[in-house]
Amino acid sequence: MPEITFVTPKCRYPGGNDKIFGANTRANQKSDEIGFENVINATVGALLNDDGSLSVMKSVMNHFRSLPDAEISAYAPIAGLPEFRQAVVEACFGDHRPKGHIEAVATPGGSGAIRNTIWNYSDPGDAILTSDWYWGPYDTQAKVNGRRLETYKLFDDSGMFNIGAFRDKTEKLLKAQERLVILLNSPAHNPTGYSLADSEWESVMDTICKLAENPDKRIVLFADIAYIDFAGDDSSRAFMELFGNLPENVLVIVAYSMSKAFTLYGLRSGAMICISSNEYATKEFFNSCQVANRGTWSNGTRGAQKLLADIFTDENLKTEIEWERTYYKTLLKERAKAFQKASKKAGLAICPYKHGFFVTVPCNKPNEVAEELENKNIYAVALQRGLRFAVCSVSKEKCAKAPKIIKAVIDEKSGK
């Protein structure tokens, strides 16, 4: 029978399995065949225990399960429960609240915040700016919303944030378009694990403020802090003070996610929080994001919102959760350290890693390298210019073992 297409051309995409889920399935099949201990499955972007089971914070789940049924099953207001909108600002900034007008709107995770920002703050066909190493869904989100992603080089020759490349690209794009949305994922960048130092954030903000001297331009900095609670202590939030007292034509939107911080990936909860020197801009933000919510997923998950509100009004519960999170933070840190140390020993070059769930190994022919690694029972995700190894999902012992094998395969594939 001839094929009939129904999907409108702009929404047609080739099928096939998601690359990450595909590699994960193959790794699990291999584990069943030869034993979990003989397979290194570094594909999963969630924190796993050493035995491969999902790490779930008991303190979070216990409180969630204690919520009254109606608090879980009822709708939440479109913009989120008022007590959630208040708590999430505290959760986001900690002791580093920027000076300015602030508004928050609930979204289904950080992903929802990305969607609303792209949709509300750029025009169809516009470029959305991010770094050359980036989380794949940034591109998907740009595409499905009729925008396109443009990139600048994330690292300079000494492995620091490439402020020159950032400046050149923002300048160029702002010559061509009236508004610019910049997606900047730090700390604990996915996929490299880079975190901008406070001085690098200062340079970013100086660059943006300079470009904002043209009053006709609108610059929206989207700070994606999805992994912040796994990136050091409260001082890792200090850079957010730089989001205060900005020129009125600069708007900062911070994406807060409950997915990693509370190991609640599937509960789909987070918020977009805007900071502006102009009160009207924050009111406009609230109104347009509320309608964007209504026009897409309607509202967020009430139970998750109530949970966050409770945590930030119950000091004991908050402390208990922070304690439990510290255990997982240490686990992650030790795994990343083991991978870094073994990479150094094996002579394997990796992107500058500071914090977070992933380490990136730049290499040529990443698909071939990933395929060959699968023959050696190591599963990682092939990116355009390297491999993403999820230290979050692999034991310290396996993190220490993998780099030597990866190095050998990369050398073999590049004919060394």
Site residues for ligand PLP per CB under 6 A: 45, 109-111, 135, 185, 190, 224, 226, 257, 259, 265, 270
Nearer CB in complex with ligand PLP: 109/247:
109
How far is C-alpha 336 from the chain's CA centre? 18
| Cβ 414 to ligand PLP shortest distance, Å | 29
| Cβ 179 to ligand PLP shortest distance, Å | 21
| Cβ 257 to ligand PLP shortest distance, Å | 3
| Cβ 224 to ligand PLP shortest distance, Å | 5
Nearer CB in complex with ligand PLP: 41/269:
269
CA distance 227 to 46: 11
Contact criterion met (CB below 8 Å) for 40 and 401? yes
Nearer CB in complex with ligand PLP: 169/189:
189
Contact criterion met (CB below 8 Å) for 323 and 163? no
Torsion (CA) 34, 40, 45, 46 in degrees, nearest 10 = 70
Nearer CB in complex with ligand PLP: 247/386:
386
| Cβ 321 to ligand PLP shortest distance, Å | 17
Nearer CB in complex with ligand PLP: 135/152:
135
| Cβ 260 to ligand PLP shortest distance, Å | 7
Nearer CB in complex with ligand PLP: 45/303:
45
CA distance 170 to 182: 8
**Closest-CB residue for ligand PLP?**
109
- The pair phi, psi for residue 250, each rounded to 5°, is -115, 130
Distances 324 to 77, 187, 225, 329, 331 between C-alpha atoms, Å? 30, 21, 20, 9, 11
Nearer CB in complex with ligand PLP: 267/275:
267
Nearer CB in complex with ligand PLP: 348/383:
383
CA distance 276 to 279: 7
HSE-up (13 A, CA, CB side) for residue 102: 22
Nearer CB in complex with ligand PLP: 189/306:
189
| Cβ 322 to ligand PLP shortest distance, Å | 20
> CA 331, 333, 335: angle at the middle one, nearest 5?
70
Q: How far apart are the first and last CA of the chain?
A: 50
| Cβ 44 to ligand PLP shortest distance, Å | 11
- The pair phi, psi for residue 70, each rounded to 5°, is -65, -30
Residue type, 63: H
Q: Is 86 exposed, middle or buried (0-12, 13-18, 19+ CB in 10 A)?
A: middle
> CA 133, 137, 143: angle at the middle one, nearest 5?
105
Nearer CB in complex with ligand PLP: 190/282:
190
| Cβ 265 to ligand PLP shortest distance, Å | 6
CA distance 226 to 257: 5
How far is C-alpha 72 from the chain's CA centre? 26
Q: Quick check: helix, strand or coil at residue 53? A: coil
| Cβ 104 to ligand PLP shortest distance, Å | 15
Which is it for strands 358-362 and 101-107: parallel, antiparallel or unpaired? unpaired
Contact criterion met (CB below 8 Å) for 399 and 335? yes
